[in-house]
Structure 1
Amino acid sequence: MESSADDTAVAIVDGTTKKILSNVVMKQHDDQNPYGGIHPFVAIQCHQRNLPFAIRRALQEAQMTVHDVDGIAFTRGPGMAGCLAVSVNAAKALAAALQKPIVGVNHMQAHALTPQLTNPGEVDGYPFLTLLISGGHTMIVLANSCKTFKILATSVDIAIGNAFDKAARMLDIVPDPKKGYGAALETFCREETPIEDVPTTRLQPFPPLSYKLPNPLQPELFSFAGLTAAVQRVVESGEMDRDQRLVIARSFQRAAISQLTLKLKGSLDWCNKNGVKPKALVASGGVASNMELRQSIRKFLDEQPDGPKSLVFPPPEFCTDNAAMIAWASMHRFENGDFDDYGVLSLPKWSIEDLEKPLP
């Protein structure tokens, strides 16, 4: 079960065969769009409404009864406290009633390990680099095992997915009814409208945005608040027609992606300096479904003589939050009999680096 943000998700996975028997994700875009983001109380209410139906649908699609399930995994953290509590409490109550074992999973660990389930054979062992990019996180993580991770870069302010959402709202882009603002901005940028190059009268290389890539000497830090502020300054400078908004949207997207490749270069430099040879680069999280981003990262890796040549993206439906990744990330603990107590609590703040540390 997964309910760390605004997606209510339930899946059933066979760990032996790596077969996803069902994967149900219930979105909240219609409920959240009026607020321009995730309203915590609305998200909690939606989870409370949706989770029972998601559980029943997952069982029906897998053609199973709840008694056929061997164990129940859930997102323990990180995430929004009230949202996490919905699936945590549901999982514990259901497991206790059925006398099934439970395992609480780190949400970011699950994203990092997703390709082992969805792209078998493409991630051949450890270590590998993971670019975790979503509405709540922007991180570059070195995976040394299924439970040992090192953060090489993280955001000091907002996540890249949050920045995409903010920029789309400021540019009056109509949200995608199924995928939200960020996906709508990508679609808007792909429109085949011929637009003349913007005169280079402002800071380079992202005109008309007055913006430069931040922290060039700090490869471990992302920052996207300045980029959204640059969009806001242009938007507030006067009326804009559709073509002008398109130029700004494309400049924003190019700048955001350029920061990712800049920090990836810093992480690869760290690996080379420390004798680490990543076998692959995995990009996961909702923003990883952006096709412009995928092409840019592929081009970047091709230009790195000492970097990994294998670039792995989970299928788009497994880039965003889902419960299949939670089930998969729990498998090593179920197999080792390493279960959680029924009294286990959620951890809204839980670093991916702390998986082997004693937890409350």
Structure 2
Amino acid sequence: MRPVCLLIRRPGVFIRRVTERRNLLTLAIETSCDDTSVAVLEKRQNNSATLHYHSKITSDNRSWEGVHPILSHVSHQKNLAKLVNDAVSSLPILPLGSEQSTNCVAISNGIHTQCRQKPDFITVTRGPGMRASLITGIDTAKGLSVAWQIPILGVNHMQAHALTPRLISALEADINSRETQKLKPEFPFLSLLVSGGHTMLVQSKGLFDHKILATTTDLALGVVVDKCARNILPTNILESASNVMYGGVLERFAYPEANLGYDYTPPRTRKEELTMKDTGYGWTIRPPLSQAPEGFRGSEFSYSGIGSTVKRIMEGKPNMDVEERRALAHEVMRVSFEHLASRVLLALENPDIKGVKALVVSGGVASNQFLRHLLRAILDARGHPDLELMFPPPALCTDNAAMIAWTGIELWEAGWRSKLDMVALKKWSIDPHAEDGGILGVDGWNKVA
């Protein structure tokens, strides 16, 4: 069989000659944890993009009060093919007469057949994540790649979170513009990647140049907030949750009228930041690492102490009333998020952090509205009002295939492809100085341009 790349570029192929658009179209798959997600994304030369399809199904893990690897794997097996089938039906329609084109994916509804545009390549999450879940997505992606004879790109899940605001920028760009529009944020920028699996502050200088400035030494922020939620929330509220994203439930419990504003005063000094606050209830939550040498270690986050403190408080007051539970929820989020902000402030004092104009905050925890309010308030109070905060919409903060599709497009344009023998990676750093060499340090890559 002749290479598809040659067939696509032949001037005699009708559909490519007619469109001459040089747009990029990819179908993307995300299965790194408990979310099964598929997307179809198209990017134009002017840097605008259209999301033709995007859907997600989350495994029901409520009986386990957390993500269960086997249940998540089964959910991917049940739902991934259905989502891919729906996505294929959402591919752009080709003009009549394209039936013989190598770019035609024939879709039949039982009455007539319609030609849809074959993607230029398949994108899939390669890691990091739960290995069995990753394998389900990768094997499906490889099958599509082989069946359609198109390339495949396996991307880093955390890199995708960091690049999500650039996807938003492309989706909001003018489709009809005749000029190439700038994507935001431009490199370099800082990223806070906060979820149930990761808590890290990253300096992003380029597509593959991501330096980890701080990372958790124990538990991820999302895990601790979820654990605190299970301890704090009244039983009836906990049992009524529609999923295991208990951090979101805790936020709604703590701030039922958040739209009216938050009663929050940011600490104006490092000393004030490390001081325990009197809650009026006889308990306090100590800021993490406040007793470490010099009061802090700038390259570390530590959240396990918050979880154990909350558990101890609730064990001592099992009949705590709703008002006090709400106050405890406030304090958990305040202390947790100020600790997150503290590492950003310390990084901004470093002369090596030059030219940074934006801070991207992504990952599941980034959908928390109080976190958004707190970060803006504390940055303004500590002398950084010009640092732009960039939060994806809540639907794109959590795991999703749209960000995977976008990352695939950026990698494709940089000339990278994945080999068919690539394997799932449970752990995969984005830092080129890490032991595994970062994004390009693992095997399975081809450079074509």
TM-score by length of 2: 0.73
Match of 1:136 among 190, 197, 210: 197
* Mapped contact 1:206–1:252 kept (Cα < 8 A): no
Q: What percent identity do the matched residue pairs reach?
A: 37
1:18: which partner in 2? 49
Aligned pair 1:127/2:188, yes or no? yes
* Mapped contact 2:345–2:379 kept (Cα < 8 A): no
Distance 1:22 1:154, change over 3 A: same
User: What does the per-residue CA deviation read over 1:19-47, in whole Å, with 9 as the maximum and x for residues that have no partner?
Assistant: 2111111112xx20110111111110011
The CA deviation at 1:145 is 0.7
**What SS does structure 2 have at the residue aligned with 1:347?**
coil
Aligned pair 1:183/2:183, yes or no? no
1:159: which partner in 2? 220
**What SS does structure 2 have at the residue aligned with 1:72?**
strand
Distance 1:206 1:76, change over 3 A: farther
Match of 2:440 among 343, 356, 360: 356
User: What does the per-residue CA deviation read over 1:72-120, in whole Å, with 9 as the maximum and x for residues that have no partner?
Assistant: 0101111111111110111012211211100010000000001011135
Aligned pair 1:286/2:364, yes or no? yes
2:85: which partner in 1? 56
Distance 1:263 1:60, change over 3 A: same
* Mapped contact 2:33–2:72 kept (Cα < 8 A): yes
1:45: which partner in 2? 74
- The structure that has the greater radius of gyration is 2
Match of 1:222 among 284, 288, 301: 301
Q: Distance in 1 between matches of 2:414 and 2:185?
A: 22
Q: Distance in 1 between matches of 2:202 and 2:185?
A: 17
Aligned pair 1:71/2:121, yes or no? yes
Match of 1:335 among 395, 408, 413: 413
1:249: which partner in 2? 329
The CA deviation at 1:241 is 2.1
* Mapped contact 2:40–2:402 kept (Cα < 8 A): yes
Q: Distance in 2 between matches of 1:97 and 1:313?
A: 37
Q: Distance in 2 between matches of 1:342 and 1:293?
A: 41
User: What does the per-residue CA deviation read over 1:140-193, in whole Å, with 9 as the maximum and x for residues that have no partner?
Assistant: 101101111000111111111111111111124426315721110000001359
The amino acid across from 1:44 in the alignment is H
The amino acid across from 1:140 in the alignment is L
Residue pairs, 1:72-91, within 5 angstroms: 72-91=122-141
Aligned pair 1:27/2:58, yes or no? yes
User: What does the per-residue CA deviation read over 1:234-290, in whole Å, with 9 as the maximum and x for residues that have no partner?
Assistant: 0111322222221211111111111111111112122xx225221211111111110
2:311: which partner in 1? 232
Aligned pair 1:146/2:207, yes or no? yes
Aligned pair 1:320/2:398, yes or no? yes
Q: Distance in 1 between matches of 2:67 and 2:405?
A: 25
The CA RMSD measured in Å over matched residues stands at: 2.1
Number of matched residues?
347
1:209: which partner in 2? 284
Between stretches 46-55 and 296-305, larger displacement belongs to 296-305
Q: Distance in 1 between matches of 2:362 and 2:123?
A: 20
Distance 1:241 1:275, change over 3 A: closer
**What SS does structure 2 have at the residue aligned with 1:79?**
coil
1:170: which partner in 2? 231
Q: Distance in 1 between matches of 2:65 and 2:361?
A: 26
Distance 1:52 1:279, change over 3 A: same
Q: Distance in 2 between matches of 1:234 and 1:111?
A: 35
The CA deviation at 1:55 is 1.1
Q: Distance in 1 between matches of 2:334 and 2:189?
A: 26
Match of 2:380 among 297, 302, 321: 302
Match of 2:160 among 110, 117, 121: 110
Between stretches 305-314 and 9-18, larger displacement belongs to 305-314
Q: Distance in 1 between matches of 2:360 and 2:376?
A: 11
Q: Distance in 2 between matches of 1:309 and 1:256?
A: 21
Between stretches 64-73 and 212-221, larger displacement belongs to 64-73
1:197: which partner in 2? none
Q: Distance in 2 between matches of 1:341 and 1:275?
A: 35
Q: Which has the higher contact order (CA 8 A, sep 6+)?
A: 1
Write 1 or 2 for the structure with the bigger share of helix: 1
Q: Distance in 1 between matches of 2:307 and 2:278?
A: 13
TM-score by length of 1: 0.90
**What SS does structure 2 have at the residue aligned with 1:344?**
coil
The CA deviation at 1:324 is 0.7
Q: Distance in 2 between matches of 1:110 and 1:162?
A: 20
Match of 2:343 among 263, 270, 292: 263
* Mapped contact 1:123–1:279 kept (Cα < 8 A): no
Q: Distance in 1 between matches of 2:353 and 2:334?
A: 31
Q: Distance in 2 between matches of 1:37 and 1:163?
A: 12
Between stretches 323-332 and 58-67, larger displacement belongs to 58-67
The amino acid across from 1:247 in the alignment is A
* Mapped contact 2:67–2:244 kept (Cα < 8 A): no
Distance 1:206 1:308, change over 3 A: farther
